[in-house]
Structure 1
Amino acid sequence: MGKSTPMSSAPASTESWPWPPAIRASAAWHVAAIGAGVLVPGALPWAIGAIVLNHALITGAGLTPRSSLLGPNVTRLPEAAAARREVAITIDDGPEPEVTPQVLDLLDAHGQRATFFCIAERVLAHPELAREIVARGHSIQNHTAQHRHNFSFLGPRGFAAEIARAQDILADTVGQRPTCFRAPAGLRNPFLEPVLHRLGLSLVSWTRRGFDTREGDAAKVMARLSHNLQARDILLLHDGNAARTAKGQPVLLEVLPLLLERLRADGLRAVTLPEGLKA
C-alpha cells in the first residue's frame, strides 16, 4: 500500500442530521419497552424480547444493501434521468493496474462514462491511474480508505476516520472531493448515516449487480445486469477483486463490451453519478 497522506478538514454539513423514521421508531420502541419493563408487573421478559426483536430488525436493515430504513440510499437515478435515457455504470474496489486501463479503453471506444468507487489506499498506490480515470471524463467516488471487512461493525468514530481519510486522499490525489459513498459490500449500521451527512456524502447502492467478484461466467454476470435493464438503473461491477473467467481473465473485461453494446442497442447512455443525479 502507498504512504498515507495527512488528513485535512472535510467540509461539514451545517444542518442537523434528519433522523430517519425507522430510527425514530426504534428509539420510541426502546423507551416503551423499558418503560413497560419497569412499570408493568411481569412485563420484563416481554420488554427484553421487544428490544431484541428491534435490534434484529435494525441489523437486518444494515445487512440489506438497498434498504433505506437506516437513512437515504440512492438505488436508482432520479426521474429526470429517464427522459435523458441515462444509466450509471459503477465500478468498485480499484484502481487495479491490470484491469482499469483496459476498462477505460473500452469505455472510450463506446463513448460512455462510468463512476469508479475507489479504495483510497489503492489510489495512494496508483495515483497516476486515478488521475487518468478523471482526465478521461469519469468520476471517482468514496469506497472507504481500506475496504475493511469489519466495516459494518464500526462505530461513529471508526466510520468518521475511515471515510474522512478516504475523502482527503481522493481529493488530494485527483483534485475533486467525492460526493457519493458506497460501503464495502453495501453493509452498514445506524451509525453510518450521521457521518455521511456530516461529510456531505450521499449513500449510493445499486439497482442490479452481476456478482462479478465470485461469478467468472461472463454470460451469467451479463444476464443479471441486463434483466429488465432500463433508464435510471445503477449497475455494479468490479475492477478490483474481479472473479476470473475460465481463461483466467478478469470477468469484467468480458462483460463490459457486452453491456456497452446492449446500452447502445437500447438507446441508453452511461453517465457518471454526479451527472446522472442531477434533477
Structure 2
Amino acid sequence: MRILPEDDDSVVSAPDRRFWPVARRNIAVDATYAWHAAAFLGCALAPADWPWWLAGTVVNHATVTVAGLLPRSTLLGHNLRRLPDYPANRDAVALTFDDGPDPEETPRVLDLLDAAGAKATFFCIGERARQHPRIVQDIVARGHCVENHSQHHRHTFSVSLPARIRAEVLAGQQTLKTLTGQTAVFFRAPAGLRNLFLDPILQQADLRLASWTRRGFDTREADPDKVARRLLDDLAPRDILLLHDRGAARLPGSDDSVALVVLPRVLQAIAARQLRCVTLREGFSDPRRADTDTGAGAG
C-alpha cells in the first residue's frame, strides 16, 4: 500500500483560519453546565422548589437534543453551511460526497467529475478509507479534497459521551493523514447528527463542522427527478450540495445508484448557470489574504 508523503499540503489551498478561532467559547455548553450547577445549588438551598429546577433541566436537555437533530443548526457551535461571501465565490458552489470511499461508486463519481472539469470534497469514513487506500489517494491525486467523516460512522455518534466522540474524530483524522499525507480541516458528523460535546472536541483538533446548504436525500429517495429538484431548485452561488458516493438508493430494477444518475444532471445544470464547482478548501480560502501573505513574504 502506497502512503503519500506526510505534510504534503502544498497541493491544496489553505482555508482562511478566521473561520475557526481556537479560543471561541461554546454558548450552549457553557449555558448547560451553568444551568446544571444552578439547579444543583437551588435544590440544595430550597429543596421544595425542586420541580421548577427539574422542569428547567428538562427544557435544557430538550433544546440541545433538538438542536443536535438539526444538521444545519448553529446552536451547538460553529457550523459552515455556505461558502463565505468572497468575490472569488460569486460563481462558485461546492459539491460534497459522504460515506465513501466505495470501490464501485467512488471511481465512477471521480470519472464524472473529471469529464465535467469539476472539483469536489469527499467526507470519508476512516475505516473505509483504510480498506480502500488507493481510492482515497486517487481522490487527492485528481485534485479533490478528503475530509473527516469519523472513523466508523457509528449510528450512536450523536448520543455518545465525549471520550467516544473524541476517539472517533481523532482516529479518522489520523487515518486520513496517514493515507493522504494531508491533514483534514473539515468534519461532518455521521448523518449530520451531533450533541453539545462535539464542538469543543473539534476546536481542540483544529477542525470545523461543515454541513450543507441543500441535500438530495439520495440515501432514501430513489426518484432522480426529486433528488435533482432538491439540489437544483433555487441553486445559488456559495451553496454547498450534499450527495453520497456510497449508500445512495438504487434505482428500481437497476444496479445504478440514484446519485450516479443525478450527478451528470447536477453538473450540467451548474455549468448552464455559469457556476463552477470548488472544493471546500478552495471556497474557504480568502484570495485577498493570500495576496497579502505573498506580498509580505516578497518584501
TM-score of the two chains, using structure 2 as the length reference: 0.85
1:93 to 99, 102, 122: 99
1:44 aligns with 2:38: no
| Structure 2 counterparts to residues 229-244 of structure 1, below 5 A | 229-244=235-250
Q: Within 1, Cα distance between the matches of 2:172 and 2:236?
A: 32
| Structure 2 counterparts to residues 48-197 of structure 1, below 5 A | 48-80=54-86, 83-197=89-203
1:135-175 C-alpha deviation (Å, 9 max, x unpaired):
00100000011111111122121111111111111111111
Relative to 1, partners in 2 of residues 1:235 and 1:81: Cα closer, same or farther, differing over 3 Å?
farther
Q: Within 2, Cα distance between the matches of 1:84 and 1:98?
A: 34
1:259 aligns with 2:266: yes
Q: CA deviation at 1:194?
A: 1.2
Relative to 1, partners in 2 of residues 1:82 and 1:210: Cα closer, same or farther, differing over 3 Å?
farther
Relative to 1, partners in 2 of residues 1:76 and 1:82: Cα closer, same or farther, differing over 3 Å?
farther
Relative to 1, partners in 2 of residues 1:274 and 1:16: Cα closer, same or farther, differing over 3 Å?
closer
Q: CA deviation at 1:224?
A: 0.5
Q: CA deviation at 1:82?
A: 6.6
Q: Within 1, Cα distance between the matches of 2:22 and 2:241?
A: 31
1:203 aligns with 2:212: no
Aligned residue for 1:93, secondary structure, equals strand
RMSD, aligned CA: 1.7
Contact kept? 1:81, 1:87, Cα under 8 Å: no
Alignment-mate amino acid for residue 266 of structure 2: L
Q: CA deviation at 1:197?
A: 0.7
Q: CA deviation at 1:34?
A: 3.4
Further displaced range: 238-247 or 253-262: 238-247
Relative to 1, partners in 2 of residues 1:81 and 1:190: Cα closer, same or farther, differing over 3 Å?
farther
1:271 aligns with 2:264: no
TM-score of the two chains, using structure 1 as the length reference: 0.91
Q: What is the match of residue 7 of structure 1?
A: none
Q: CA deviation at 1:40?
A: 3.9
Relative to 1, partners in 2 of residues 1:197 and 1:227: Cα closer, same or farther, differing over 3 Å?
same
Alignment-mate amino acid for residue 277 of structure 2: A
- Where do 5+ consecutive residues of structure 2 fail to align? 2-20, 287-299
Relative to 1, partners in 2 of residues 1:81 and 1:106: Cα closer, same or farther, differing over 3 Å?
farther
How many residue pairs match? The answer is: 266
1:196-218 C-alpha deviation (Å, 9 max, x unpaired):
11111110011110000111111
Q: Within 2, Cα distance between the matches of 1:87 and 1:16?
A: 27
Q: CA deviation at 1:96?
A: 0.7
Q: CA deviation at 1:63?
A: 1.1
Aligned residue for 2:94, secondary structure, equals strand
Q: CA deviation at 1:23?
A: 2.7
Alignment-mate amino acid for residue 266 of structure 1: R
Relative to 1, partners in 2 of residues 1:97 and 1:41: Cα closer, same or farther, differing over 3 Å?
closer
Percent of paired sites with the same residue: 52
- Where do 5+ consecutive residues of structure 1 fail to align? 3-14
Q: Within 1, Cα distance between the matches of 2:88 and 2:251?
A: 33
Further displaced range: 32-41 or 157-166: 32-41
